[in-house]
Structure 1
């Protein structure tokens, strides 16, 4: 019995321009390997993300609704980037988790055996200050993570 290398690929999108190359790459892998492809957008938990203690002019719920609308647009763009590859587009709330752990939770629930993500490729002070969702996923993942670096 022949086993395929990757049977279910999850590619993340957050609506930024750097995601397009990652989605196209994941779609190409999916077609080549005859693997299931899931395009995933995580809606950050606004209560968690905005818990700086400062007064906000909008509620956490309004913020999450705005992020959900951005996610719908990102999923639409991702479907265009996938250029006909059969895929499932999912948007899921973080539900009390940070985004990296929400990605890992969803990938595990989907039985994904590869996660594809875009990365800015920041280094030095920018990396230290901004951190990296991709890096955190890489360090905590139980499956391989393929990072596609953004090239301007």
Structure 2
């Protein structure tokens, strides 16, 4: 039985489908949903090159994360159990994002991780990597990966 389901949230096409699956499972198991997005502080710093203050970067990252979480929170509004949003930070992509998700899963004692994937392959996959692949490879928990319909 799942009690706490972590759902990785980003602004990709696969996120709503992954959240739909998580909502179904959470409803069946009366589980808490933990909606987590990870913001890359380096990307925020590049977007705001004059901002060298880490606390300012963190504030901007939190605002960006809350904007990413907003549609997911609206989608999850029908869930009768608790829904916990969270914004995490990292300084790199790929493995660092995956690591932040796994750390959060451990901190909340999650039973399952649900996430979307873009389904990249070939050169795009080699260059961009796959957060879902890193999570699957390193997770001690079951991971449900939902591919985008696009």
TM-score category by the smaller chain? 0.7 to 0.9
Task: Measure, in 2, the Cα distance between the counterparts of 1:146 and 1:94.
Answer: 23
Alpha-carbon shift at residue 79 of structure 1 (Å): 1.0
Task: Measure, in 2, the Cα distance between the counterparts of 1:116 and 1:15.
Answer: 15
Q: Which moved more, 1:9-18 or 1:59-68?
A: 59-68
Residue 72 (structure 2) pairs with residue 78 (structure 1): yes
Residue 61 (structure 2) pairs with residue 67 (structure 1): yes
State the match for 2:33 in structure 1: 37
SS at match of 2:113: strand
Task: Measure, in 2, the Cα distance between the counterparts of 1:28 and 1:148.
Answer: 13
State the match for 2:97 in structure 1: 99
TM-score with structure 2 length normalisation? 0.82
Q: For the aligned residues, what is the CA RMSD?
A: 2.6
Alpha-carbon shift at residue 121 of structure 1 (Å): 0.7
State the match for 2:85 in structure 1: 89
Alpha-carbon shift at residue 57 of structure 1 (Å): 3.2
State the match for 1:150 in structure 2: 148
State the match for 1:108 in structure 2: 106
> Structure 1, residues 77-106: CA drift from partner, whole Å, max 9, x if none?
111122411311111223788111011000
Check the 8 A contact 1:9/1:38 in 2, yes or no: yes
Task: Measure, in 2, the Cα distance between the counterparts of 1:64 and 1:135.
Answer: 27
Structure 2: gaps (5+ residues) = none
> Structure 1, residues 3-51: CA drift from partner, whole Å, max 9, x if none?
x2x11100011223321111121111101111111111122242xx699
Task: Measure, in 1, the Cα distance between the counterparts of 2:12 and 2:59.
Answer: 17
Structure 1: gaps (5+ residues) = none
In structure 2, relative to structure 1, the CA distance for the partners of 1:130 and 1:33 (3 Å cut) is: same
State the match for 2:135 in structure 1: 137
State the match for 1:127 in structure 2: 125
Whose helix proportion is higher, 1 or 2? 2
Task: Measure, in 1, the Cα distance between the counterparts of 2:65 and 2:128.
Answer: 21
In structure 2, relative to structure 1, the CA distance for the partners of 1:42 and 1:115 (3 Å cut) is: same
